[in-house]
Amino acid sequence: MDKTRSADIVTFTMNPAIDIFGATPTLFDDSKSRCEKALQQPGGGGINVARNICRMGGNAHVVYPAGGPNGELLEILLNDEGTPQTVIPIADHTRQNMAITELSSGKFYHFVFPGPRLTAAEQEACFNAIFAFNPPPRFVVLSGSLPHDVPLDFYGRITKKANQQGSRVILDTSGPALQNSLYQGAWLAKLNRKEFASLGFPEDDDVSSLARNMNTLLAKNAVEHLIVTLSRGGAVLVSNGQSPVFFKAPQVPIISHVGAGDGFVSALTYQLAQGADLTTATRYGVAAATVVIQTEGNQLTDFNKLTETVELIEEQTIHGNFT
């Protein structure tokens, strides 16, 4: 591995995939459902984030494990796009995920598979690859799920070491991987309502109560900044010592939710790397997610629409005593 490799933003995907998108007139449960079209793209949280950032003109590099034919295809697709990558070879096979739209009903089905198993040596090679950049990146984005047999504190270990080397860690994961990554010095965590509720908070709070509960988590030093996205669009940003901010997104037609969260993190991180303040960067994140859900595939590609949508995001300071 090249020890002189450098990047402003390093993203990490421990459980990448080939994402396959298709559409069928009717989804049958007892016979073949023939798809009319298909789209094949690299997938996985950190991979999507790096692809978006590079497309926006940012300096991002993705690190991920890969094996088998899907792993080879993943590397080829990213290379064809010009996305800088470090691939950790593994013996098991990289997964495929499927997203199918039933045209007759407009329903969208997203099938996500568990992924490969990594040996202890493969896991350690992944860990070491993140810290093979000189100088250390300004931002490390940890995004997506953990595959089988990977310790639940894996992201937490990365977060702690990255924080010690001066990188700002942005967390975008869920479940036990999330719970074991907090309190390790992460700069920011981006969660959805269900992920936030998994930490022991109500899922159906109003925005003001949500902000209060988010502040409770920050007061325990779980993370420095916290963003929770809302199912109806928008997000709440809470930072220590500052009033929470609610970002309301416009209502738009939804084609697919795949990649919306990654689009959010992409635009957020890119703006931060360009010197934007966190409020402005969050505004771009909300706008990016709004754009992605209106498009097929898992990528943020319409930057004219992104610029237009940023102007449509409503910002509201949430007042209240959160001490």
| HEC-encoded secondary structure of 246-262 | EEECCCCCCCCCCCHHH
- pLDDT of 2 reads 44
Residue of higher predicted confidence among 217 and 261: 217
Question: Are 214 and 239 within 8 A, CB to CB?
Answer: no
CA angle 233, 177, 167 (to 5 degrees): 85
pTM of the predicted model over 0.85:
yes
φ, ψ of residue 99 in degrees (nearest 5): -130, 115
Nearest to 13 by CA among 40, 41, 44, 42: 44
Distance CA 94, CA 114 (A): 10
278-314 burial, b for 16+ CB within 10 Å, e for fewer?
A: bebbbbbbbbbbbbbbebbbbbbeeeebbeebbeebe
Q: Which long-range contacts (CB under 8 A, 24 or more apart) does 148-154 make?
A: 148/114, 148/115, 148/116, 148/117, 148/118, 149/117, 149/118, 150/14, 150/118, 150/123, 151/123, 152/176, 152/177, 152/179, 152/180, 153/180, 153/181, 154/14, 154/123, 154/127
Domain 9-317 CATH superfamily: Ribokinase (3.40.1190.20)
Map out the domains of the chain as residue ranges: 9-317
Q: Out of 9-13, 161-165, 173-177, 234-238, which region has the weakest mean confidence (pLDDT)?
A: 173-177
Assess whether 2 carries a catalytic annotation.
no
The dihedral through the CA atoms of 291, 296, 299, 300 has a sign that is negative
pLDDT band at 170 (very low <50, low <70, confident <90, very high): very high
The active-site residue out of 149, 172, 262, 302 is 262
Peptide bond between residue 250 and the one before it cis (omega within 30 degrees of 0): no
CA angle 111, 116, 122 (to 5 degrees): 150
The dihedral through the CA atoms of 177, 269, 15, 22 has a sign that is positive
pLDDT above 90 (res 247): yes
Residue of higher predicted confidence among 203 and 121: 121
Give how far Cα 161 sits from Cα of 15, 87, 89, 152, 166, Å.
21, 21, 23, 16, 9
- pLDDT of 321 reads 45
Residues 39-64 pLDDT 10s: 888 999 899 999 999 999 999 999 99
φ, ψ of residue 76 in degrees (nearest 5): -65, -45
pLDDT above 50 (res 36): yes
The number of angstroms, rounded, from the C-alpha of 136 to the middle of its chain's C-alpha atoms is 21
Give how far Cα 88 sits from Cα of 17, 84, 247, Å.
14, 14, 38
Q: At 158, list the tokens.
A: 């990365």
Residues 131-158 pLDDT 10s: 999 999 999 999 988 988 899 999 999 9
The single-letter code of the amino acid at 171 is: L
Distance CA 175, CA 316 (A): 30
Nearest to 296 by CA among 268, 259, 269: 259
